[in-house]
Amino acid sequence: MSASIASLSGRAIIPLIISYWPFPNKLVLMIFVHLPARDLRLMTQVSCLSRDLAAPLYFHSVGLSIEQKWLWINAQTCLALPLYSRTASFSAPQFLHCDLIGTSARDLTALQIFLESLMGIQSKPISSVLCFDAPPGVDLASLFQVIKNLGCSSFTYSSSDSEQLRTIVPTPVPGSDPGAVCSLRRLSLDSPMFFSPCVASLTLPTLQDCPLSSLSLTHTGLSSIKWAALLQSIHLLLLRMLTVDAHCPPHILANFLIRHQNIGQVWIHPGQTSVPLELQNHSLQKLRSHTSQQTSNSHLHKLTVLGGPSWYLVPLLAAIHPVDQGSQGSSPETKALGDLHSLVRQSTDTHSTAVVHHPLHHLTTRTHRLDPSSSW
């Protein structure tokens, strides 16, 4: 059987016998090494032999590589992924690093096909997936669903795009399978895209159904009222570490912490917020007046570290354990918290960050100057 190969350099090539090469493989490789990535990709589709010869050169030309079980993916490598999964050199990765900037719908489709092909062929599921900078128009929801179905334990998404997106309070997907098993243990969303209308329908079921031990929600674009609706709708029994941005009202976070007694570390991401709470919008006061849950005399026995802007920690600590300044017979815990309030208030500079160490009987605090341009 023969077939004519399309022109690689403007001229037609002599028809090749598909079943074998009439030249030594070494000579064919010498020819292939001078071909651009697009032509190498075409050569991988001619026959099994041409695929085996051209595929390594094609992968190298687009930058596809695995380094110590990490698979690095970008807009140039997405189309090579389905081919890579069918080659003899394929090695199932344990970690994925996906730089999605510049990807098209076609690229993401290829990525999804590759991820779906991994289901059932690995003795161990992918451990961690890191994604960055997906263009606004791509179907991020479908990609996220495939990643969840893979059974990976950690997912991180971050976006450097500062464009303001419309955000909504997530609601469950109608008709979703309530018995679906989610294996995510660590979830970090540093972007408003997961609270945009096209993805938010998957966000809340993920937060409700996954056995998360570590959760980070920063740069979400959520307002105070939306933060309240979100945190009041989830209950994570296994949560040990929580990070939120400073747009989450302190009393709402306090209510959440009191309902999650197993949390050991809480970090407040300052984000773009640099104004003390007393100067922020009065909507916080209106929201507080509608909060019925009482937080007085509450204890967080397992909380060991609390870090964030000093001006945020003062009202947060006051909401968790209000201090009666006029009480002379206060408990050691109340006295310790009163001392801590004083220590934190000494560093109410808007760029100062405090790290508070529990338990209550041994409270300490340290503060340092936070560079607004640095990452948290």
Q: For 142-180, how does the pLDDT look when each residue is reduced to its tens digit (9 = 90+)?
A: 889 898 888 889 999 998 754 544 555 444 444 344 444
β-bridge partners, 243: 216, 267
pLDDT score, position 287: 45
Higher model confidence: residue 94 or residue 216?
216
Contact 159, 128 (CB under 8 A): no
Return d(Cα 212, Cα 209) in angstroms, integer: 9
pLDDT score, position 212: 94
State in Å, rounded, how far the first CA of the chain is from the last one: 62
Higher model confidence: residue 305 or residue 138?
305
Q: Is 230 exposed, middle or buried (0-12, 13-18, 19+ CB in 10 A)?
A: buried
pLDDT score, position 186: 95
CA distance to 104, 135, 192, 265, per residue, from 166 (Å):
22, 15, 8, 30
CA distance to 36, 63, 72, 101, per residue, from 75 (Å):
17, 10, 11, 7
For 348: left if phi > 0, alpha if psi spans -120 to 50, otherwise beta; the answer is: alpha
Task: Out of 4-18, 92-106, 158-172, 201-215, pick the least confident.
Answer: 4-18
Contact 365, 356 (CB under 8 A): yes
Return d(Cα 376, Cα 374) in angstroms, integer: 7
Return d(Cα 318, Cα 305) in angstroms, integer: 16
Q: How confident is the model at residue 123 (pLDDT cuts 50, 70, 90)?
A: low
Q: Residue 285: pLDDT above 90?
A: no
pLDDT score, position 319: 84
Q: How confident is the model at residue 316 (pLDDT cuts 50, 70, 90)?
A: confident
* Largest pairwise CA distance in the chain: 98
Residues for the chain: how many in total? 376
Handedness of CA 147, 194, 169, 173 (dihedral sign): negative
pLDDT score, position 283: 39
Contact 113, 82 (CB under 8 A): yes
**Both tokens of residue 54?**
């051209």
pLDDT score, position 338: 60
pLDDT score, position 250: 92
pLDDT score, position 211: 93
pLDDT score, position 340: 57
Q: Residue 345: pLDDT above 90?
A: no
Contact 239, 231 (CB under 8 A): no
Angle of helix 105-117 relative to helix 140-149, nearest 10 degrees, comes to 10
CA 13 to chain centre: 48
SS3 content of the chain, % helix, strand, coil (to 5): 35, 15, 50
Contact 218, 269 (CB under 8 A): yes
Return d(Cα 123, Cα 277) in angstroms, integer: 50
pLDDT score, position 5: 41
User: What value does the mean pLDDT take over residues 112-130?
Assistant: 81
pLDDT score, position 172: 45
Per-range mean pLDDT, top range of 244-258, 263-277, 280-294: 244-258
**Both tokens of residue 27?**
């000579």
Q: Residue 266: pLDDT above 60?
A: yes
Q: What is the mean pLDDT of the chain?
A: 74
pTM: 0.75
pLDDT score, position 373: 38
**Both tokens of residue 187?**
């979830």
Contact 232, 207 (CB under 8 A): no
Residue with tokens 């939306």: 226
User: What value does the mean pLDDT take over residues 28-50?
Assistant: 86
Higher model confidence: residue 116 or residue 119?
116
Beta pairing, strands 305-309 & 364-369: unpaired
Return d(Cα 311, Cα 344) in angstroms, integer: 8
Return d(Cα 330, Cα 27) in angstroms, integer: 87
Return d(Cα 94, Cα 208) in angstroms, integer: 25
β-bridge partners, 189: 157, 217
Q: Residue 371: pLDDT above 60?
A: no
For residue 77, which amino acid is it? T
pLDDT score, position 320: 80
Q: Residue 187: pLDDT above 60?
A: yes
pLDDT score, position 358: 53
Q: What are phi and psi of 32, to 5 degrees?
A: -60, -35
